[in-house]
Amino acid sequence: MDEKLNKNTDENLNKKATKNIMTYIIIFFVGCLVMYAVVYFFPVAITEDVIKEVRDVTINDTGIAEAVAKVYDSVVVVSTYRDGTYIASGTGFVYRQEGDKYYLLTNYHVIEDGDNVTVTFTNGDVVETEIVGHDEYADIAVLSIESDTELTVAELGNNEESRVGDTAFAVGAPLDNAYSWTVTRGIISGKDRLVEVSVSNSNTNDYVMRVLQTDAAINSGNSGGPLCNANGEVIGITSLKLVSSGVEGMGFAIPIEAAVEKAEQIIDGEIIVYPVIGIQMVDFADAYYTYYSLIRNSGLENGVIVTSVERGSAADEAGIKANDIITAIDGEKVLNKAYLRYYLYQHSVGDDITITVYRDGNTRDLKLTLSADGQTA
Protein backbone atom coordinates (compact mmCIF):
# COMPACT_ATOMS: atom_id res chain seq x y z
CA MET A 1 0.00 0.00 0.00
CA ASP A 2 2.78 2.41 0.95
CA GLU A 3 4.78 1.51 -2.16
CA LYS A 4 1.79 2.27 -4.39
CA LEU A 5 1.23 5.61 -2.64
CA ASN A 6 4.84 6.63 -3.10
CA LYS A 7 4.74 5.64 -6.74
CA ASN A 8 1.64 7.79 -7.36
CA THR A 9 3.26 10.71 -5.53
CA ASP A 10 6.40 10.52 -7.68
CA GLU A 11 4.35 10.39 -10.85
CA ASN A 12 2.39 13.49 -9.78
CA LEU A 13 5.63 15.39 -9.00
CA ASN A 14 7.12 14.49 -12.37
CA LYS A 15 3.99 15.64 -14.18
CA LYS A 16 4.01 18.88 -12.22
CA ALA A 17 7.68 19.55 -13.00
CA THR A 18 7.14 18.84 -16.67
CA LYS A 19 4.22 21.19 -16.71
CA ASN A 20 6.28 23.97 -15.07
CA ILE A 21 9.11 23.55 -17.59
CA MET A 22 6.68 23.74 -20.48
CA THR A 23 5.16 26.88 -18.96
CA TYR A 24 8.58 28.56 -18.72
CA ILE A 25 9.40 27.65 -22.32
CA ILE A 26 6.12 29.08 -23.55
CA ILE A 27 6.65 32.30 -21.56
CA PHE A 28 10.16 32.64 -23.02
CA PHE A 29 9.01 32.30 -26.61
CA VAL A 30 6.06 34.63 -26.08
CA GLY A 31 8.45 37.22 -24.60
CA CYS A 32 10.74 36.92 -27.61
CA LEU A 33 7.81 37.36 -29.98
CA VAL A 34 6.66 40.46 -28.12
CA MET A 35 10.15 42.03 -28.20
CA TYR A 36 10.46 41.27 -31.92
CA ALA A 37 7.08 42.85 -32.60
CA VAL A 38 8.00 46.01 -30.66
CA VAL A 39 11.30 46.43 -32.50
CA TYR A 40 9.74 45.66 -35.89
CA PHE A 41 6.68 47.87 -35.61
CA PHE A 42 8.09 50.78 -33.51
CA PRO A 43 11.71 51.32 -34.60
CA VAL A 44 11.49 55.12 -34.87
CA ALA A 45 10.42 55.58 -31.28
CA ILE A 46 13.28 53.45 -29.97
CA THR A 47 15.81 55.18 -32.21
CA GLU A 48 14.67 58.58 -30.99
CA ASP A 49 15.00 57.48 -27.38
CA VAL A 50 18.52 56.16 -27.97
CA ILE A 51 19.57 59.35 -29.77
CA LYS A 52 18.12 61.43 -26.96
CA GLU A 53 20.10 59.42 -24.44
CA VAL A 54 23.31 59.85 -26.43
CA ARG A 55 22.73 63.58 -26.73
CA ASP A 56 22.27 63.83 -23.00
CA VAL A 57 25.81 62.51 -22.31
CA THR A 58 27.75 64.19 -25.15
CA ILE A 59 30.87 66.07 -23.89
CA ASN A 60 31.74 69.27 -25.71
CA ASP A 61 35.49 70.07 -26.11
CA THR A 62 35.79 73.77 -26.88
CA GLY A 63 39.55 73.46 -27.42
CA ILE A 64 42.24 75.83 -26.19
CA ALA A 65 41.62 78.81 -28.46
CA GLU A 66 41.03 81.21 -25.55
CA ALA A 67 44.17 80.02 -23.77
CA VAL A 68 46.23 80.42 -26.95
CA ALA A 69 44.88 83.94 -27.47
CA LYS A 70 46.13 84.98 -24.02
CA VAL A 71 49.77 84.21 -24.79
CA TYR A 72 49.91 84.39 -28.59
CA ASP A 73 50.91 88.05 -29.05
CA SER A 74 53.64 87.79 -26.39
CA VAL A 75 55.50 85.25 -28.54
CA VAL A 76 58.25 86.49 -30.85
CA VAL A 77 60.49 85.05 -33.53
CA VAL A 78 64.11 85.43 -32.44
CA SER A 79 66.64 86.04 -35.25
CA THR A 80 70.36 85.84 -34.50
CA TYR A 81 73.07 87.61 -36.55
CA ARG A 82 76.84 87.65 -36.48
CA ASP A 83 78.78 90.39 -38.23
CA GLY A 84 75.56 91.33 -39.99
CA THR A 85 74.91 87.83 -41.32
CA TYR A 86 71.84 85.85 -40.29
CA ILE A 87 72.90 82.59 -38.63
CA ALA A 88 69.99 81.16 -36.66
CA SER A 89 66.44 81.62 -35.41
CA GLY A 90 64.26 80.43 -32.60
CA THR A 91 61.40 81.58 -30.42
CA GLY A 92 61.02 83.75 -27.34
CA PHE A 93 58.34 85.55 -25.36
CA VAL A 94 57.80 88.72 -23.34
CA TYR A 95 57.65 87.82 -19.67
CA ARG A 96 58.23 91.03 -17.70
CA GLN A 97 57.54 94.77 -17.99
CA GLU A 98 59.16 97.74 -16.22
CA GLY A 99 57.61 100.93 -17.55
CA ASP A 100 58.57 101.18 -21.24
CA LYS A 101 61.12 98.39 -20.89
CA TYR A 102 60.23 94.79 -21.61
CA TYR A 103 62.22 91.65 -20.89
CA LEU A 104 62.05 88.54 -23.05
CA LEU A 105 63.11 84.95 -22.40
CA THR A 106 64.60 82.50 -24.87
CA ASN A 107 67.15 79.68 -24.90
CA TYR A 108 70.82 80.52 -24.76
CA HIS A 109 71.57 78.08 -27.57
CA VAL A 110 69.34 80.19 -29.87
CA ILE A 111 71.60 83.25 -29.58
CA GLU A 112 74.96 81.90 -28.37
CA ASP A 113 76.87 82.42 -31.64
CA GLY A 114 75.46 85.87 -32.37
CA ASP A 115 76.40 89.46 -31.62
CA ASN A 116 73.07 90.97 -32.63
CA VAL A 117 69.52 89.71 -32.05
CA THR A 118 66.18 90.97 -33.39
CA VAL A 119 62.67 89.88 -32.50
CA THR A 120 59.61 89.86 -34.74
CA PHE A 121 56.13 90.30 -33.25
CA THR A 122 52.86 88.88 -34.54
CA ASN A 123 51.97 92.26 -36.12
CA GLY A 124 55.15 92.11 -38.23
CA ASP A 125 57.18 94.66 -36.23
CA VAL A 126 60.90 93.82 -36.12
CA VAL A 127 62.78 95.22 -33.13
CA GLU A 128 66.48 95.10 -32.30
CA THR A 129 67.16 93.87 -28.79
CA GLU A 130 69.75 94.27 -26.09
CA ILE A 131 71.29 91.00 -24.90
CA VAL A 132 71.03 91.40 -21.13
CA GLY A 133 72.83 88.17 -20.28
CA HIS A 134 72.70 84.40 -20.26
CA ASP A 135 73.39 81.19 -18.37
CA GLU A 136 74.69 78.46 -20.65
CA TYR A 137 74.11 75.59 -18.21
CA ALA A 138 70.52 76.65 -17.53
CA ASP A 139 70.17 77.35 -21.29
CA ILE A 140 68.53 80.70 -20.52
CA ALA A 141 69.07 84.05 -22.24
CA VAL A 142 67.41 87.37 -21.39
CA LEU A 143 66.75 90.05 -24.02
CA SER A 144 65.28 93.51 -23.53
CA ILE A 145 63.55 96.11 -25.71
CA GLU A 146 61.94 99.50 -25.15
CA SER A 147 58.50 100.27 -26.53
CA ASP A 148 56.08 103.19 -26.19
CA THR A 149 53.35 100.82 -27.34
CA GLU A 150 51.85 98.49 -24.76
CA LEU A 151 53.01 94.94 -25.44
CA THR A 152 51.40 91.68 -24.41
CA VAL A 153 53.20 90.14 -21.46
CA ALA A 154 52.81 86.40 -20.97
CA GLU A 155 51.19 85.26 -17.76
CA LEU A 156 53.39 82.84 -15.82
CA GLY A 157 51.91 79.73 -14.28
CA ASN A 158 52.89 77.51 -11.38
CA ASN A 159 54.64 74.42 -12.63
CA GLU A 160 54.32 72.81 -9.20
CA GLU A 161 50.55 72.64 -9.70
CA SER A 162 50.89 70.97 -13.10
CA ARG A 163 50.01 67.28 -13.25
CA VAL A 164 51.02 64.51 -15.58
CA GLY A 165 48.18 64.23 -18.08
CA ASP A 166 47.25 67.93 -18.00
CA THR A 167 46.77 69.65 -21.35
CA ALA A 168 49.83 71.55 -22.61
CA PHE A 169 50.51 73.49 -25.78
CA ALA A 170 53.55 75.09 -27.36
CA VAL A 171 53.83 78.19 -29.55
CA GLY A 172 56.89 78.57 -31.74
CA ALA A 173 58.53 79.19 -35.08
CA PRO A 174 59.52 75.77 -36.42
CA LEU A 175 61.60 75.10 -39.52
CA ASP A 176 63.57 78.33 -39.57
CA ASN A 177 60.57 80.73 -39.48
CA ALA A 178 58.70 78.93 -42.24
CA TYR A 179 55.73 78.34 -39.92
CA SER A 180 56.00 81.11 -37.34
CA TRP A 181 53.59 81.10 -34.38
CA THR A 182 52.64 77.48 -34.90
CA VAL A 183 50.57 76.05 -32.03
CA THR A 184 50.90 72.38 -31.12
CA ARG A 185 48.88 70.62 -28.47
CA GLY A 186 49.56 67.65 -26.23
CA ILE A 187 49.84 66.79 -22.56
CA ILE A 188 52.43 66.90 -19.82
CA SER A 189 53.95 63.46 -20.19
CA GLY A 190 56.33 63.62 -17.24
CA LYS A 191 57.88 65.89 -14.63
CA ASP A 192 61.37 66.17 -13.16
CA ARG A 193 62.98 64.24 -16.00
CA LEU A 194 66.79 64.25 -16.01
CA VAL A 195 68.07 64.55 -19.58
CA GLU A 196 71.73 64.62 -20.60
CA VAL A 197 72.70 67.47 -22.92
CA SER A 198 75.80 68.89 -24.57
CA VAL A 199 76.57 72.39 -23.35
CA SER A 200 79.94 72.67 -25.07
CA ASN A 201 78.50 71.83 -28.53
CA SER A 202 80.60 68.69 -28.60
CA ASN A 203 79.46 65.15 -29.30
CA THR A 204 79.71 64.42 -25.58
CA ASN A 205 76.90 65.09 -23.12
CA ASP A 206 78.47 67.18 -20.37
CA TYR A 207 75.49 68.33 -18.31
CA VAL A 208 72.08 67.18 -17.11
CA MET A 209 68.90 69.27 -17.19
CA ARG A 210 65.82 68.74 -15.03
CA VAL A 211 62.88 69.25 -17.37
CA LEU A 212 59.19 68.79 -18.11
CA GLN A 213 58.30 66.20 -20.73
CA THR A 214 55.53 66.79 -23.26
CA ASP A 215 54.19 65.10 -26.37
CA ALA A 216 53.20 68.45 -27.91
CA ALA A 217 55.19 68.61 -31.16
CA ILE A 218 58.53 70.37 -30.66
CA ASN A 219 60.53 71.09 -33.81
CA SER A 220 63.68 72.95 -34.74
CA GLY A 221 62.88 76.63 -34.25
CA ASN A 222 60.56 76.05 -31.29
CA SER A 223 63.48 76.48 -28.90
CA GLY A 224 62.93 79.31 -26.45
CA GLY A 225 59.16 79.43 -26.91
CA PRO A 226 56.55 78.98 -24.20
CA LEU A 227 54.99 75.71 -23.09
CA CYS A 228 51.61 76.63 -21.62
CA ASN A 229 48.84 75.03 -19.61
CA ALA A 230 45.16 75.04 -20.50
CA ASN A 231 44.77 78.46 -18.87
CA GLY A 232 47.29 80.03 -21.24
CA GLU A 233 49.90 80.39 -18.49
CA VAL A 234 53.55 79.68 -19.27
CA ILE A 235 54.83 76.66 -17.33
CA GLY A 236 58.02 75.99 -19.26
CA ILE A 237 60.42 77.05 -22.00
CA THR A 238 60.64 74.52 -24.82
CA SER A 239 64.27 73.57 -25.15
CA LEU A 240 64.93 70.19 -26.75
CA LYS A 241 63.45 67.00 -28.14
CA LEU A 242 64.63 63.42 -28.22
CA VAL A 243 65.62 62.44 -31.73
CA SER A 244 66.10 58.72 -32.20
CA SER A 245 64.89 55.98 -34.48
CA GLY A 246 61.53 54.68 -33.31
CA VAL A 247 61.02 57.54 -30.82
CA GLU A 248 58.26 60.10 -31.30
CA GLY A 249 56.52 62.70 -29.17
CA MET A 250 59.27 63.29 -26.60
CA GLY A 251 59.87 67.01 -26.17
CA PHE A 252 61.25 68.77 -23.12
CA ALA A 253 60.87 72.17 -21.50
CA ILE A 254 62.72 74.01 -18.75
CA PRO A 255 60.34 74.57 -15.80
CA ILE A 256 59.37 78.23 -15.70
CA GLU A 257 60.34 78.64 -12.05
CA ALA A 258 63.94 77.60 -12.75
CA ALA A 259 64.10 79.82 -15.84
CA VAL A 260 62.74 82.91 -14.08
CA GLU A 261 65.07 82.43 -11.11
CA LYS A 262 68.09 82.58 -13.44
CA ALA A 263 66.58 85.42 -15.47
CA GLU A 264 66.06 87.57 -12.38
CA GLN A 265 69.68 87.01 -11.35
CA ILE A 266 70.79 88.12 -14.82
CA ILE A 267 68.56 91.23 -14.81
CA ASP A 268 69.78 92.17 -11.32
CA GLY A 269 73.35 92.05 -12.58
CA GLU A 270 74.43 89.09 -10.49
CA ILE A 271 77.46 87.22 -11.76
CA ILE A 272 76.49 83.57 -12.00
CA VAL A 273 79.38 81.50 -10.70
CA TYR A 274 79.24 77.73 -10.61
CA PRO A 275 81.28 75.95 -7.96
CA VAL A 276 84.23 73.69 -8.74
CA ILE A 277 86.21 71.13 -6.77
CA GLY A 278 89.45 71.27 -8.77
CA ILE A 279 89.84 68.02 -10.70
CA GLN A 280 90.25 66.72 -14.21
CA MET A 281 88.07 63.69 -14.89
CA VAL A 282 86.99 61.12 -17.45
CA ASP A 283 83.92 58.89 -17.86
CA PHE A 284 84.10 55.11 -17.70
CA ALA A 285 83.00 54.91 -21.33
CA ASP A 286 85.85 57.15 -22.48
CA ALA A 287 88.50 55.51 -20.29
CA TYR A 288 87.81 51.82 -20.64
CA TYR A 289 91.08 50.94 -22.36
CA THR A 290 93.29 53.48 -20.57
CA TYR A 291 91.97 52.51 -17.13
CA TYR A 292 90.95 48.94 -17.94
CA SER A 293 92.50 47.34 -14.85
CA LEU A 294 91.12 50.01 -12.51
CA ILE A 295 87.59 49.68 -13.89
CA ARG A 296 87.66 45.87 -13.96
CA ASN A 297 89.00 45.54 -10.42
CA SER A 298 86.50 48.04 -9.03
CA GLY A 299 83.51 45.98 -10.16
CA LEU A 300 81.66 49.26 -10.77
CA GLU A 301 79.46 49.91 -13.79
CA ASN A 302 79.35 53.72 -13.57
CA GLY A 303 81.36 56.56 -12.16
CA VAL A 304 83.91 59.25 -12.92
CA ILE A 305 87.64 58.61 -12.79
CA VAL A 306 89.78 61.42 -11.38
CA THR A 307 92.76 61.87 -13.72
CA SER A 308 94.41 64.73 -11.82
CA VAL A 309 93.85 66.99 -8.82
CA GLU A 310 94.72 70.68 -8.73
CA ARG A 311 97.10 71.47 -5.88
CA GLY A 312 95.46 73.52 -3.15
CA SER A 313 91.96 72.98 -4.53
CA ALA A 314 88.92 71.86 -2.55
CA ALA A 315 89.42 68.33 -3.84
CA ASP A 316 93.08 68.36 -2.81
CA GLU A 317 92.26 69.57 0.68
CA ALA A 318 89.56 66.92 1.03
CA GLY A 319 92.02 64.17 0.13
CA ILE A 320 90.78 63.23 -3.33
CA LYS A 321 93.54 61.58 -5.37
CA ALA A 322 94.22 60.69 -8.98
CA ASN A 323 92.68 57.31 -9.93
CA ASP A 324 89.89 57.74 -7.37
CA ILE A 325 86.48 56.85 -8.78
CA ILE A 326 83.74 59.29 -7.77
CA THR A 327 80.49 57.36 -7.33
CA ALA A 328 78.18 59.79 -5.51
CA ILE A 329 77.66 63.38 -4.34
CA ASP A 330 75.57 63.78 -1.18
CA GLY A 331 74.26 60.27 -1.73
CA GLU A 332 73.13 60.95 -5.32
CA LYS A 333 74.59 58.42 -7.74
CA VAL A 334 77.12 59.87 -10.19
CA LEU A 335 76.72 58.02 -13.49
CA ASN A 336 79.15 60.18 -15.49
CA LYS A 337 80.62 63.69 -15.81
CA ALA A 338 77.24 65.15 -16.78
CA TYR A 339 75.64 63.96 -13.55
CA LEU A 340 78.65 65.06 -11.48
CA ARG A 341 78.30 68.62 -12.82
CA TYR A 342 74.52 68.57 -12.34
CA TYR A 343 74.68 67.58 -8.67
CA LEU A 344 77.61 69.91 -8.10
CA TYR A 345 75.82 72.89 -9.68
CA GLN A 346 72.80 72.50 -7.44
CA HIS A 347 75.05 74.01 -4.76
CA SER A 348 76.68 77.41 -4.31
CA VAL A 349 80.25 78.44 -3.68
CA GLY A 350 81.01 77.90 0.01
CA ASP A 351 78.60 74.98 0.48
CA ASP A 352 79.84 71.82 2.17
CA ILE A 353 79.22 68.56 0.31
CA THR A 354 80.10 64.89 0.71
CA ILE A 355 81.78 63.07 -2.16
CA THR A 356 81.89 59.28 -2.18
CA VAL A 357 84.95 57.76 -3.84
CA TYR A 358 86.20 54.24 -4.53
CA ARG A 359 89.91 53.66 -3.84
CA ASP A 360 91.95 50.47 -3.44
CA GLY A 361 88.94 48.23 -2.98
CA ASN A 362 87.23 50.48 -0.43
CA THR A 363 84.56 53.19 -0.54
CA ARG A 364 84.98 56.31 1.54
CA ASP A 365 83.10 59.58 2.08
CA LEU A 366 85.12 62.79 1.84
CA LYS A 367 83.78 66.18 2.93
CA LEU A 368 84.82 69.35 1.13
CA THR A 369 83.87 73.00 0.76
CA LEU A 370 83.09 74.20 -2.75
CA SER A 371 85.18 76.97 -4.25
CA ALA A 372 84.93 79.26 -7.27
CA ASP A 373 88.41 78.64 -8.61
CA GLY A 374 89.75 75.46 -10.08
CA GLN A 375 89.73 73.16 -13.06
CA THR A 376 86.82 71.70 -15.01
CA ALA A 377 84.89 70.41 -12.02
Of the candidates 109, 134, 135, 239, the residue annotated as catalytic is 109
> In angstroms, rounded to a whole number, what is the distance separating the alpha carbons of residues 279 and 355?
13
Q: Which of 371, 206, 210, 209 is nearest to 304 (CA)?
A: 206
Q: How far, in whole angstroms, is CA 10 from its chain's centroid?
A: 79
Strand order in the sheet with 85-98: 126-128, 116-120, 75-82, 85-98, 101-106, 140-146, 130-135
Q: How far, in whole angstroms, is CA 78 from its chain's centroid?
A: 22
Q: Answer yes or no: 223 catalytic.
A: yes
Q: Answer yes or no: 244 catalytic.
A: no
Of the candidates 139, 206, 283, 324, the residue annotated as catalytic is 139
On whether the CB atoms of residues 219 and 242 are closer than 8 A, the answer is no
Helix axes 2-41, 43-57, angle to 10 degrees: 80
> In angstroms, rounded to a whole number, what is the distance separating the alpha carbons of residues 357 and 355?
6
On whether the CB atoms of residues 208 and 339 are closer than 8 A, the answer is yes
Q: Answer yes or no: 115 catalytic.
A: no
Q: Which residues pair with 210 in a beta bridge?
A: 194
Of the candidates 223, 239, 313, 371, the residue annotated as catalytic is 223
On whether the CB atoms of residues 310 and 279 are closer than 8 A, the answer is yes
Residue 175, classified by CB atoms within 10 Å of its CB into exposed (0-12), middle (13-18) or buried (19+), is middle
For the annotated catalytic residues, the residue numbers are 109, 139, 223
